[in-house]
Amino acid sequence: MNKLGALFFSLILALSCSEEKQQKHLVAQGQWIGQLAIKKNKKIPFNFEVVKDSVFIINSEERIGAKITQYQDSIRIKMPVFDSEFRFAKTKTGLIGYWYNNTKINYKLLFSARLNKEGVQNRFNISHNNYGQYEGEWKTTFSEGGEDEYAAIAIFNQEKQYVAGTFITQTGDYRFLQGNVSGDSILLSCFDGSHAFLFEGGLFDGIINGRFYSGSHWSEPWVSSKNELFTLANPYSLTNQVREEKLEFTFPSIDGKNVSFPNKRFDDKVVIIQILGSWCPNCLDETRFFTALHKKYQGKGLEIIGLAFEVPEKLSDKIARIKDLKSHFHSKYEFLIAGGASKKEAQKALPILSDVSSFPTAIFIDKKGMIRKIHTGFYGPGTGIYYAKYVSDVTALVEGLLVE
């Protein structure tokens, strides 16, 4: 064989090997648009990227990684921490199957996906070239005039027809939302493994009237007006200590042994009590922050105890959920199983508090065992400057307590 023939044969072999390697992957590589059907003509879109046999869910700045596996006759994606998964098959045009949220009884949404040629910033497949202006902060009311009415701040960051942002409520935020502006309409969505959200709105005479959908089980109206000065109540003012005694409790750890507070391990330590649930996205954002905070200040006397209120009925299943959470974040602080996933159960478990109105809630305790502050809710990284202020304030609070 001459040199030219040998070179040609090597090229063909290399291409064949490359093609064979590509075919080994369970799902085609690259950018995709997924959709979850919540009504007959209503779908929640989300972006994801497939790299080898891994998938990365994209919500604005957030990327949530998971593994793609083959199980019997379906392809599956088990979401991290949250007890949910995709089961689907490949078709000529993409993927088709269901997303199952196992924390709810018989809850599944029809899932479909196609390769995304429009780019990650065109989530809603918009066609109009004109767009309204939504940039900034907006005073928002959900379910106005109803029993469930509550206030919020909408934060929108707009670049032409691409928009990202979130809604901050009195007890937390709706995390990383991403979408598009088309004409006078704004469309935002997110999928994080636990929740699938869709926000639709229309701007007229400076007022946005819209509707919020949470999966297929909940929807409510919302209305916004531009207002950069509107504020919510101080999150340190919502939950109070109603008994003068020190906080005390005993709950099982994820090792199955009862752990009490206070005890000698926490003597002369600054302690944060974190009220959380592994099913709560804001709690996961807080856990990520607390894990870093604990790592930085544990050597100076900071301890954190996570009190988990979980969905499964069996203690062993509750423990399994928290073990997944702790492993995912590589958290080194203590987690205890305190009850079921209910605010009433949380308040019952901690009667020293006036109420527990939000997961998460954080209790800051000084070296003498006295409650110094209680923070209701959590402003996560999707809130931008609000998250930065929260991190700064909590860091300053902890540093101050440590030097007392």
What is the Cα–Cα distance from 325 to 288, expressed in whole angstroms? 10
Nearest partner of 380 among 273, 279, 288, judged by Cα: 288
Q: What is the pLDDT of residues 191-247, one digit of tens each?
A: 999 999 999 999 999 999 999 999 999 999 999 999 999 999 999 999 999 998 999
pLDDT band for position 72 (cuts 50, 70, 90) = confident
- Enumerate residues 6+ apart whose C-beta is below 8 A from 82: 103, 192, 193, 194, 278, 279
Instruction: Report the half-sphere exposure of 186 (CA within 13 A, side-chain side).
Output: 33
pLDDT band for position 16 (cuts 50, 70, 90) = very low
Query: For 4, phi and psi rounded to 5 degrees?
Result: -65, -40
- Residue 334 near residue 253 (C-beta atoms within 8 A): yes
- In this model, does residue 10 exceed pLDDT 60? no
List the CATH code of the domain at 249-402: 3.40.30.10
Q: Give pLDDT, residue 23.
A: 56
pLDDT band for position 24 (cuts 50, 70, 90) = confident
Q: What is the mean pLDDT of residues 341-367?
A: 97
Q: What is the pLDDT of residues 179-194, one digit of tens each?
A: 999 999 999 999 999 9
Q: Give pLDDT, residue 130.
A: 87
- In this model, does residue 19 exceed pLDDT 50? no
Helix (H), strand (E) counts: the chain: 5, 24
Strand partners, 138: 154, 226
19-23, 53-57, 209-213, 374-378: range with lowest mean pLDDT: 19-23
Domain ranges of the chain: 28-115, 136-226, 249-402
* CATH 3.30.930.10 describes domain 136-226: no
Across the chain, mean pLDDT equals 93
Give the alpha-carbon dihedral of 123, 124, 129, 132, to 10 degrees: -100
- Residue 213 near residue 219 (C-beta atoms within 8 A): yes
φ/ψ bin of 206: left (φ > 0), alpha (ψ from -120 to 50), beta (otherwise): left
Q: What is the DSSP string of 281-326?
A: HHHHHHHHHHHHHHHHHGGGTEEEEEEEEES-SSHHHHHHHHHHHH
Q: Give pLDDT, residue 119.
A: 86
**% of the chain beyond a pLDDT of 70:** 94
| 3-class secondary structure, 101 | strand
The two three-digit tokens of residue 178, written as one number:
């991403």
11-20, 335-344, 387-396: range with lowest mean pLDDT: 11-20
- Residue 257 near residue 151 (C-beta atoms within 8 A): no
Asked if 136-226 and 249-402 have one fold, the answer is no
Nearest partner of 33 among 108, 126, 100, 155, judged by Cα: 126
Q: What is the mean pLDDT of residues 127-151?
A: 94
Q: What is the pLDDT of residues 43-52, one digit of tens each?
A: 999 999 999 9
Q: Give pLDDT, residue 340.
A: 97
Nearest partner of 214 among 42, 11, 398, 13, judged by Cα: 42
What is the Cα–Cα distance from 169 to 152, expressed in whole angstroms? 4
List the CATH code of the domain at 28-115: 2.40.128.120
Q: Give pLDDT, residue 126.
A: 86
Q: Is pLDDT larger for residue 5 or for residue 113?
A: 113
Q: Is pLDDT larger for residue 117 or for residue 309?
A: 309
What is the Cα–Cα distance from 360 to 55, expressed in whole angstroms? 28
pLDDT band for position 2 (cuts 50, 70, 90) = low
- Residue 283 near residue 310 (C-beta atoms within 8 A): no
Global confidence as pTM: 0.91
